[in-house]
């Protein structure tokens, strides 16, 4: 059995100076591997939202009362703390799993041949969003679950999901100039759908910040509005999104659009119906924790569905010329 090959001093120095370039010179992942890496990052961006919701819904938001430590002088929960500490600490640990998934996506994108700068940039954008949201999550704890910071925490997580979904799509298409598959009027209708969906998500955070699930058993400040009134506004916006989606599907059928946009619109419509059922059931059953958690998962899936509809309106063929990779890169991903 042979020993592990040793790096010569020049290779070792190159690996330390720019590990991404070092790996890229020695590994060429298949397109499927790059796609799977991007999908893993997208899945983990959804998982971290759902588990963050579980922290709030179980009243474990202050299970680790400080940050970045769990308690003063300890990075991990102590035996004196309750199961809430384990739940909150577990969610913090999942951030490392998310970082690993994003890191894999960055490495796979950087190592793909030919080099695609746009993919690598999308990977690094996810990394910085994760870092920013980790800091914001610490601020949420330090300010005692202030509902406005909690809302910002969720919206930044939605931004992460957005970039991850775009990267996943880009791994399955080329780098040529995008060609529209539908007319300008249809594109404008989809942008109305995107805007309405964004407003739907934003109002949903207000419902959360004003509602009864404060995230901790102690007296946590809530957004000073009637949550039931905001919930009704949220429902109206949901019906607007459903109506726009159905109208889009009808228009796409009328203009004999390609199968891609039609299929993505159909998928979004089905997700919206399921999300609507969950929303109404949770409202009339006084917001049971399980249904609220499912509704948070549905929120992520709705937004991903909207993005997939938007991205399905154009196609990007392979570029006619293969661009060479960069001769030198700056560490920490400024060009990686």
Q: What is the pTM of this model?
A: 0.87
For residue range 129-173, what is the model confidence (pLDDT) as tens digits?
999 999 999 999 999 899 999 999 999 999 999 999 999 999 999
Judged by DSSP in three states, 316 sits in coil
What are the structural domains of the chain? 18-172 (no CATH), 177-320 (1.20.120)
Using CA atoms, how far apart are residues 106 and 125, in angstroms rounded to an integer? 10
Q: For the chain, how big is the Rg over CA atoms in Å? A: 22
Distances (CA, A) of 157 to 20, 191, 238: 26, 21, 20
Using CA atoms, how far apart are residues 326 and 336, in angstroms rounded to an integer? 9
**321 in Cβ contact with 177 (< 8 Å):** no
pLDDT of 72: 80
Using CA atoms, how far apart are residues 59 and 46, in angstroms rounded to an integer? 20
Judged by DSSP in three states, 1 sits in coil
For residue range 75-121, what is the model confidence (pLDDT) as tens digits?
888 766 677 888 888 888 999 999 999 999 999 999 999 999 999 99
303 token code pair: 């937004």
For residue range 226-256, what is the model confidence (pLDDT) as tens digits?
988 999 999 999 999 999 999 999 999 998 8
Cβ count near 300 (within 10 Å): 22
pLDDT of 175: 86
Q: Of 40 and 174, which is predicted with more confidence?
A: 40
The string of DSSP codes covering 179-190 is EESS-HHHHHHH
């Amino acid at each position: 059995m042979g020993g592990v090959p040793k790096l010569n001093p020049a290779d070792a120095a190159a690996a330390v100076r720019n590990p991404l370039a070092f790996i890229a010179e020695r590994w060429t992942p298949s397109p499927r591997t790059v796609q799977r890496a991007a999908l893993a990052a997208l899945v983990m961006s959804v998982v971290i939202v759902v588990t963050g919701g579980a922290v709030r819904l179980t009243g474990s938001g202050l299970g680790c009362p400080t940050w970045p430590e769990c308690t003063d002088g300890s990075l991990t929960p102590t035996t004196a703390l309750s199961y809430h500490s384990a739940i909150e600490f577990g969610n913090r640990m999942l951030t490392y799993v998310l970082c690993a998934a994003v890191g894999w996506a960055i490495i796979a994108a950087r190592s793909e041949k030919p080099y695609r700068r746009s993919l690598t940039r999308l990977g690094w954008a996810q990394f910085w969003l994760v870092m920013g949201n980790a800091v914001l999550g610490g601020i949420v704890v330090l300010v005692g679950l202030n509902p406005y910071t909690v809302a910002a925490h969720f919206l930044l997580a939605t931004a992460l999901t957005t970039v991850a979904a775009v990267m996943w799509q880009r791994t399955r298409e080329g780098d040529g100039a995008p060609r529209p598959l539908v007319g300008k009027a249809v594109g404008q209708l989809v942008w109305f759908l995107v805007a309405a969906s964004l407003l739907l998500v934003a109002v949903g955070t207000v419902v959360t910040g004003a509602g009864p699930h404060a995230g901790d058993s102690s007296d946590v400040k809530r957004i000073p509005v009637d949550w039931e009134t905001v919930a009704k506004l949220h429902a109206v916006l949901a019906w607007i999104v459903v109506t726009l989606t159905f109208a889009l599907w009808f228009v796409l059928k009328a203009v004999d659009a390609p199968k891609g946009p039609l299929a993505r619109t159909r998928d979004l419509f089905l997700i919206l119906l399921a999300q609507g059922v969950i929303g109404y059931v949770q409202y009339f059953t006084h917001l049971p924790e399980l249904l609220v958690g499912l509704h948070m998962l549905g929120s992520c899936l709705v937004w991903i569905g909207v993005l997939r509809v938007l991205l399905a309106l154009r196609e990007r063929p392979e570029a006619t010329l293969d661009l060479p990779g960069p001769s030198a890169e700056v560490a920490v991903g400024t060009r990686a």
